[in-house]
Amino acid sequence: MTLRKPKRLNDSILPDVTLTDGDHELIVAANAVLESHYRPFWHMVAAAIRSHDGRIWTGLHIGTTVGRLSVCAEAVAFGRALLDGDGTIQTAVAVRHPKPEEENRELAVVPPCGACREMLLDHAPNAMIIVKDSDVLIKLPIRTLLPLPYRR
């Protein structure tokens, strides 16, 4: 595992970006969901969220023919945490199945889409998000992924 020094953003030091065993557990949980339920173009992404009480909530992307009706995996996982848990997000991760034309057939950690960044920031402004930086998995505060969120 590669260790990194804290990064600076707008003159503030970011928290430790290295992954813990619990973070790797989230990735394993998301991978397991996608491996079990993958269906091309219908279920391409899975997510896992650890709530503040330590429980893990998983979700699966629900694709639809009418794209605007699709639901992201992060939203499904968060909905489960709201309904059956404490409704909090400490750390989140999403994984994507490779597209049919891609040579690399491994599941990959991906950042949340823009809408999910907004949702995560709205409901968990202190959440950490696992992402891939070059070839290293790190975790960052959601605020670094959406520095200027929409406000109504």
- In the residue annotation, 74 being an active-site residue is answered as yes
Q: Are 150 and 120 in contact (CB under 8 A)?
A: no
Burial of 64 (0-12, 13-18, 19+ CB in 10 A): exposed
C-alpha dihedral (84, 68, 150, 45), degrees to nearest 10: 50
DSSP H helices, 11-113, are 21-37, 73-84
Q: Given 25, 35, 74, 118, which residue is catalytic?
A: 74
CA dist 7 and 11 (Å) reads 10
Catalytic residues: 74
